[in-house]
Chains A and B, each alone.
Chain A
């Protein structure tokens, strides 16, 4: 692995993660070394059970590894307590989930305001800022719609707006296109790639969806809890086992 540079956004070294004890112990990450740069969109790919989601959780600070170091935008996460990790996530991370996780009883605009309200921003200011992001993701006019009345693509746009509204440097996307058709998935990925071009932003995407590999700047292939290799061109991947 290369030494950290000012361009490094995320860096993990020798990360070990296992679940359970004794005979039921399952190793999810084995000496996982990974890095992502500012301004890039990097994908984590690999077969089911290879540790993609666990590594993503470690980078997001929702899981603490048993060994190894995790550094995100210069901040070591592996030594932080739960409260500090929560504060870190609040300020630095945006999430796009596989099943959107939009609260169905709130309007789309209210869903987008959630990260700002968590930060303590006033309701009025949160709504003003949410409207601006809403327009950026192409959903102007659908602010008062409930998530269930939107199409899958529109719901994912709302989720992206929610992930971006507090301008986090790191965007974590977990299977962002798995619930979308090909064209909608491509549109969403185009949007995510554009967002990743901000100089101080990094986007990490976990996916199985080979149709979107072309949107990645780099692809990290995982196998058995570690990074097998990192490629710049998806054609370099052996996709038969993915």
Chain B
């Protein structure tokens, strides 16, 4: 009977196409919006991802990674003296304005790292060498920034184009020259501004008015000391806040700065609501279109289901037929929708905008929701068919 059920479904191509459109659109909207949501949320803890360190230490009032509350430099000595600390390095982070050579201003995220150890330096440089940061007034800028802050020139054809910044180019921060000595590859920030790396001391110089400039401390535990143990010791002995830096969303600990940042944005911004609305919309549109189309399919076939009932098929058999039809449509619709979401995601990942992170869990959740939509559609159909009297087949 299941093969016949499928042949009935595939035989009505117009209805099937409508049904698949509804389900695919729903799956696309749910998978794509959820992936963009997680992509945007992953940007909120970009500094932790880019600046690799086992432990971050901050002012005790800090709630999330973008919320630096500068400390006195003397705090660094306190942390270094905690038993179990292998090394500790200062980190400065602030949002400043860069003045380009054409007079234009751009917001940047200034990152000052320890000039001796380069702890917190970008892992990958596409141009230049990190050691060149020791030269006067030098910075390393990320690829996104090089493009964003590039010079606009008019070509021989009269069209304007942007020439990305390159090593040797300069701009100004608070009227102090910043000469580019390297281009790095890092993940983009939630704030949208590019990362500009320099040494910790020079970052202080660029921040003319800042009295305190120690945003975070990067700490590495000695061998045999766990990150969690060391965090406890640091907090106990210094009254500062110590964070672990695990960024795996499904596996992060309560001490994770990434996790706390994620949930801070969840609670304090409208991002979850707006994306949640889009996902809910996908779900409701899916139920509405698919439910309506499947119901119309059932109505059109009602007299045949009545005939099948009269011929001796029990309601359980017919219910299974309808479930097979609805769930098959659901699986195909999910395949189409998730495939489109994946294709769109690839384009997004290549362009870098908007961020797109499709966890396998998003795939499975979307599948469950689409099959849920199909199930609702099937149940509506089953209720309708169950109310049809087998004797109705004799009424012309």
Contact = CB atoms under 8 A, between A and B. Distances in A.
Interface of A: 53, 56-57, 60, 62-63, 83, 86-91, 93, 95, 97-99, 101, 103-106, 110, 113-115, 117-119, 123, 146, 174-175, 206
Contacts of A62: 310, 389-391, 393-394
Nearest to B312: A90
Given A89-B311, A106-B8, 10 more contacts: A57-B391, A60-B394, A62-B310, A62-B394, A89-B312, A95-B310, A103-B4, A106-B4, A117-B4, A118-B1
B314 interface: yes
B62 interface: no
Interface in B293-317: 301, 303-304, 307-314, 317
A91 B312 contact: yes
B320 to A, nearest CB: 12
Given A86-B313, A90-B312, A174-B394, A101 B4 contact: no
**Interface majority SS (helix, strand, loop, mixed), chain B:** helix
Interface in B154-183: none
B391 A63 contact: yes
Contacts, number: 84
17 contacts: A53-B395, A60-B394, A62-B391, A62-B393, A62-B394, A86-B312, A88-B312, A90-B313, A91-B312, A95-B307, A99-B396, A101-B307, A105-B9, A106-B4, A115-B312, A117-B4, A174-B394
Interface size class of B (residues with CB under 8 A): 20 to 34
Contact of A118 (B7, B10, B311, B393): B311
Q: Choose among B313, B389, B394, B396 the residue with the greatest number of A CB atoms under 10 Å from its CB.
A: B394
Contacts of A114: 4, 308, 311
Contact of B311 (A57, A95, A123): A95
B394 to A, nearest CB: 5
B3 interface: yes
A85 B281 CA distance: 45
Nearest to A102: B304
B11 interface: yes
A20 B237 CA distance: 86
Q: Choose among A99, A117, A146 the residue with the greatest number of B CB atoms under 10 Å from its CB.
A: A117
Contacts of B304: 101, 103
B3 A123 contact: yes
Nearest to B313: A118
B350 interface: no
A174 B306 CA distance: 15
Contact of B308 (A57, A99, A104, A118): A118
Contacts of B303: 101
Contacts of B394: 53, 56-57, 60, 62, 97-98, 174, 206
Given A105-B8, A106-B4, A117-B4, A60 B310 contact: yes
